[in-house]
Structure formats: structure tokens, C-alpha cells
């Protein structure tokens, strides 16, 4: 096994821990008061944030029978090292095996997501996510969500199709010309694989880990949860086949709300580009919005 982990997950401190109180102090009273607040509370561990359960499960992939490190989680924070000490102590307190951290002292963090060759970047800062996506890093804006009480050990990740796993070319047709034109186009192009979207590299990395295990013992389960219905499903199936990537479960919902299906799948996290789908999903599972500025201009 090479020394580079298969999966590098970069995460902002506000996605990992609940920093809402201190963030409000920062916004309301400025940096100096915020800095003092964090220093005074250095011994108090921060509570888990939205991404905490999924990060725990990602790190648990390292306790595997192959005895190899499959995942590296890196903290990317706009804090300075000084105010970041409380975050690092919280990492220790919660026994998270996170050995790398980058503190930018207020500067944007996305260049470092690219420098780390991150396979996934989770943040609560819209501009960092958009900039990281532009740099080719699969990135999502974490929304405050209900996180499922998911006692299973298995990591379950669900994806939307168009503009997430696949490019947005078909979605553009849908938005500009409507469902009928979209279905006609997809039926005509059924044999032509869809171009990859921003999350294709992340799905591929998950697939690489899955392929190290017998399928019935896989520590990861993936699902495609798409608004596509028949006849637009065929192109998706053929695309995944052409990429040589398996997806464990696929839901072609023909426009039904996704939330309840995600709850039944017990997704640890779900990625979608459409705000309304994210709103439906976040009531049930942790949700990452994949902003597609081009689609919504």
C-alpha cells in the first residue's frame, strides 16, 4: 500500500464542532473579544458539530483488517493557531485521530484544500466551498441538519446525480427546456456516458476502498438518489458502468421528495446541488449543498 491515504478529507472547524456561540461573538464583537473568549475556554471541549458523526465513521475506516490507513482527516480553519488551540484540544478530547491542521488566520482556506489534494472538503463558508469546487476539489456547504442516530458501523453516503456525480449538462437542458426535452435528450444519449461532475473523484475514492473488501463486508455503502425517472435512468446506469464504479443502491424517484428515502437508507451524509432537495434532506440526515453557480445564475 502506498503511503498516501486513499481518501483525504479536509474539514473546517465549524463543520466539525459546534462553534455557533463563538462565531456569533466574533461577528458581533470582533476578533479581540473572540480571541479572549476562546483562550478563556481552552480547557472546555467543544461539542460535536454537523459533520462530527460522519468524520468519526470516516476515521473508523482506519481500524480495518488490512491494517492500512485508508482515510486522513485534516482540519482546515480560518482561526489563527492561537485561537485554534481550543479546536485542537477538542479533537484530542473526542479522541479523533486527526494529525494535520492548517490555520490560516482569517485567510481563505480553499488553496490548502487543493494543496492537500483533498478528495472531499466540507465547510460552512459558502465562498470557500465555491472556490474549492472551482479548483477541482469535491466540496460541499454543510447545512445545520438533523443527524440520524445511526448506530451501524457502516459509513453510508448518498449522492444526487446531475451536477453532483455527473456534469450539469443534462440539468441545464431540464432547466432551460423542461422535463420532456430532458427525457428525450437522455433517451437519445442513453449510450453516451455522462461527463463526470464535481463529486466523481470522491465516489471513485470510496469505490477504491470498497474494492479492498468482500462486498458483503464492505465498511462503506453508497447510494444514488436522483429525481430522474424512466426513461432517463438508463444513461446513469450505463455511465457508472463505463466508469467501472459500482453504486450499491439507486433511487430513481421521478421527482418525489428525497428526505424519507435518505432516512430509510440511513445516510450519514447526502450531497445535492438543489437547494430545495437539501431542505427536504436536512430534516432527516446531514446534508451538504454542492453550489452550482453556473446553473443558478
φ, ψ of residue 196 to 5 degrees: the values are -70, 145
What pLDDT does residue 150 have?
Answer: 63
pLDDT exceeds 80 at position 2: no
Contact partners, residue 68, CB within 8 Å, separation at least 6? 1
The tens digit of pLDDT for each residue in 217-230 reads: 899 999 999 988 88
Residue 27 burial (10 A CB sphere; 0-12, 13-18, 19+): exposed
Q: Determine whether domain 155-289 maps to CATH 1.10.1740.10.
A: no
160 a catalytic residue: yes
The tens digit of pLDDT for each residue in 26-51 reads: 889 988 898 898 889 999 999 999 89
What pLDDT does residue 179 have?
Answer: 86
State the sign of the Cα–Cα–Cα–Cα dihedral 103, 107, 110, 114: negative
What sections of the chain are H helices per DSSP?
13-16, 20-29, 31-40, 52-60, 81-93, 110-115, 126-134, 169-177, 179-188, 200-210, 233-243, 259-265, 275-282
pTM of the predicted protein model: 0.92
Topology annotation, domain 7-142: Rossmann fold (3.40.50)
The domains spanning 7-142 and 155-289 adopt the same CATH topology: yes
Is residue 88 classed as helix, strand or coil in its secondary structure? helix
Which entry of 72, 128, 160, 272 is annotated as an active-site residue?
160
φ, ψ of residue 80 to 5 degrees: the values are -90, 165
**Domain-wise residue ranges, the chain:** 7-142, 155-289
Amino acid at each position: 500500500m502506498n503511503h498516501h491515504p486513499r481518501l483525504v478529507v479536509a474539514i473546517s472547524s465549524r463543520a466539525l464542532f459546534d462553534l455557533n456561540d463563538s462565531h456569533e461573538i466574533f461577528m458581533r464583537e470582533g476578533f479581540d473579544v473572540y480571541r479572549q473568549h476562546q483562550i478563556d475556554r481552552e480547557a472546555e471541549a467543544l461539542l460535536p458539530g454537523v459533520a462530527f458523526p460522519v468524520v468519526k465513521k470516516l476515521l473508523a475506516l482506519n481500524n480495518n483488517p488490512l491494517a492500512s490507513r485508508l482515510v486522513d482527516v485534516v482540519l482546515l480553519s480560518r482561526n489563527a493557531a492561537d485561537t485554534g488551540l481550543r479546536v485542537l484540544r477538542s479533537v484530542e478530547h473526542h479522541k479523533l485521530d486527526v494529525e494535520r491542521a492548517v490555520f490560516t488566520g482569517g485567510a481563505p482556506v480553499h488553496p490548502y484544500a487543493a494543496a492537500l489534494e483533498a478528495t472531499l472538503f466540507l465547510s460552512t463558508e459558502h465562498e470557500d466551498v465555491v472556490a474549492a469546487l472551482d479548483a477541482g476539489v469535491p466540496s460541499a456547504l454543510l447545512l445545520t441538519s438533523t443527524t440520524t442516530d445511526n448506530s451501524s458501523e457502516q459509513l453510508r453516503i448518498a449522492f444526487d446525480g446531475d451536477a453532483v456525480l455527473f456534469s450539469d449538462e443534462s440539468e441545464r437542458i431540464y432547466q432551460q427546456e423542461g422535463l420532456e426535452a430532458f427525457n428525450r435528450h437522455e433517451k437519445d444519449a442513453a449510450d453516451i456516458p455522462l461527463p463526470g461532475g464535481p463529486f466523481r473523484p470522491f465516489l471513485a475514492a470510496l469505490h477504491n476502498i470498497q474494492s479492498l473488501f468482500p462486498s458483503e463486508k464492505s465498511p462503506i455503502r453508497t447510494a444514488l438518489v436522483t429525481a430522474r425517472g424512466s426513461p432517463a435512468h438508463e444513461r446513469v446506469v450505463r455511465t457508472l458502468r463505463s466508469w467501472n464504479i459500482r453504486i450499491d443502491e439507486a433511487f430513481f424517484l421521478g421527482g418525489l421528495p428525497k428526505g424519507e428515502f435518505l432516512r430509510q437508507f440511513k445516510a450519514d451524509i447526502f450531497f445535492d446541488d438543489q437547494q430545495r432537495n437539501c431542505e427536504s434532506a436536512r430534516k432527516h440526515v446531514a446534508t451538504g449543498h454542492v453550489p452550482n453557480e453556473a446553473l443558478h445564475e
